[in-house]
Structure 1
């Protein structure tokens, strides 16, 4: 059965209202009112509580769900996680249980057999996989699923249409158009050498992108949450392309798909697992009349790198690379986002995930990681 000390709620109200400084409210006694009239206390002696207020307030503004674990004796909040409203896209057996891909996520998620609620959660996932039902899925920092609830949209909630599955073939133009494009982009044509940027300029562009990184505890928009590498790469890549285009550059993108495992100091577990990943590329001059597409990925590197180097750190030699135009927001189905509305939603979601992690684990990088 679900953890009796855990609450998942799409209702988040404060008692008293947040009409005074948070520190003052905490001293006097601040509560969160949740679905079913359940209440949770924000402990003034807990250094995390002021941060919890910020996260809870933002979730309330979005009508988004929250997962809270409560001390049964004091009713104080001991843990806050931000669930996903999503659908399972695939579910395959693993040594520990099941590995899942979820909609609007490039992370690999796990339902482990050692989860005490495994027997309850597995059929919920299987049923949603067949029906396409939306679920509220909560997981820990290693992306182990710990809680699943059915999701019922409110009357004012916009429908969340399904995405094409990443195991389907990405959109491809006719072969003759691809051939013409290959001929046009052949890296030894002299005109490309003059149109591409120098190595020094590529580093300057990389540094400009990296400078947009979010301060973990405040995450002010429009910063980019590079320090939350777990998920959201398609939003980061699209925003970087927008910024590069505004700088007068012509970026492209490269997508990788496989069983990806990446070491990082920006996750408390020191690694992330992905099913796919994407980053912008720029044409960079390498020598006289020779050019190369270099990857701009501040979530993994401190400098532009070759596509081979970028692939090499992601832990799957058999992974496949697919280039695309910068306008492609999501490769499978050829989804675009010309107004950047969806991009901004993705960035906002993972800014909040970064902030919530930093409140509870401290800001990255994590000293325990090699």
Structure 2
């Protein structure tokens, strides 16, 4: 079995459309032809739900220029995952293995000691850390592949430099937020946002993939802010948290997600019992049935030593060097959502649709 990490150049079929090809049975001999930018040519047999989802992932990854990890039997594509390309921010030795925090991801990626390729992958990570080299990492309930990324701009777009919040651009301690929302109004807005989640049977624009909490928090946060401002005239801020984070979820096969940092929109609302103005976080990826008080949101991520920063809503993410990237016109959101939806589709194809019944409620 060969493994490849590359960008998709084209997805072709002899039929009139990819949709027609993937809905025909495999015995009709109409495989998709997948051309990769590195020159490889693969085929994907048509027929079956998994092949249909893979075909969608291939096309969306092509449009979003999202690198894919692919396993191929000769030239036949048999399995794929999305990959992350970026630079190492930290590499921590633990009893379980090596914990990687990298740009272009807010997940903490674990290279387990029982991985049969642990020694090889650990050496690549340490080489990349020492030389500040870009890496391509594939994570499926733990790191399954690590390689040095090609020294090419095609792999290292601006998103490859997304990094944890560095405390810059924080709101002043004496910042006065917009007028507090009535609690019922905050709940109404949250309910409308949560309803924008992607139905697993039809992951398509303009849905926001809250059921894929593993990564892309900065994209979901900015998509929520866009909805709040454009549809309700709300004036949110953003709350950023950095630490050794872990949140329970039924939307990941491991029943929990591990983050190095996280971000979500925050508003001020009048508490339903006390009437006091309190900070409230909108984060359906953690809690889908209503907004959370700020302290509840922080506690749900399992690190009492975590650092919390508030910023203006315009901050989209942070560069590894150079501080925040702002996006007041929301020009980055749709491309980011396309990548996040591709990740959700790949998870559905490989692990089945969330929520996962084996995870506790």
TM-score by length of 1: 0.84
Specify the SS of the correspondent of 1:54: helix
Residue 317 of structure 2 is matched in structure 1 by 330
Specify the SS of the correspondent of 1:178: coil
Q: Deviations over 1:113-133 (max 9, x none)?
A: 222222222232223223333
Residue 98 of structure 2 is matched in structure 1 by 98
Q: 1:305 and 2:292 equivalent?
A: yes
CA 1:30 to 1:292, structure 2 compared with 1: closer, same or farther past 3 Å? same
Offset of residue 5 of structure 1: 3.2
In structure 1, stretches of 5+ residues that fail to align are: 186-191
- How far apart in 1 are the matches of 2:199 and 2:208? 9
Q: 1:361 and 2:351 equivalent?
A: yes
Q: Report which of the two structures shows the higher radius of gyration computed on alpha carbons.
A: 1
Q: 1:250 and 2:223 equivalent?
A: no
- How far apart in 2 are the matches of 1:179 and 1:39? 56
Matches within 5 A, 1:1-370: 4-14=1-11, 16-17=13-14, 19-20=16-17, 21-22=20-21, 23-24=23-24, 26=26, 27-34=28-35, 40-44=42-46, 46-71=48-73, 76-140=76-140, 142-153=141-152, 159-160=157-158, 163=161, 165-166=163-164, 169-171=166-168, 178-181=172-175, 184=176, 195-246=179-230, 247-286=232-271, 290-301=276-287, 302-330=289-317, 333-370=323-360
CA 1:9 to 1:204, structure 2 compared with 1: closer, same or farther past 3 Å? same
Structure 1 vs Structure 2 CA RMSD = 2.8
In structure 2, stretches of 5+ residues that fail to align are: none
Offset of residue 158 of structure 1: 7.3
- How far apart in 1 are the matches of 2:101 and 2:5? 22
Residue 189 of structure 1 is matched in structure 2 by none
Question: Bigger shift: 108-117 or 122-131?
Answer: 122-131
Offset of residue 39 of structure 1: 5.1
Offset of residue 362 of structure 1: 2.1
- How far apart in 1 are the matches of 2:49 and 2:354? 18
Offset of residue 62 of structure 1: 4.0
8 Å CA contact 1:55–1:352 kept in 2: the answer is yes
- How far apart in 1 are the matches of 2:173 and 2:55? 55
Specify the SS of the correspondent of 1:57: helix
CA 1:25 to 1:58, structure 2 compared with 1: closer, same or farther past 3 Å? farther
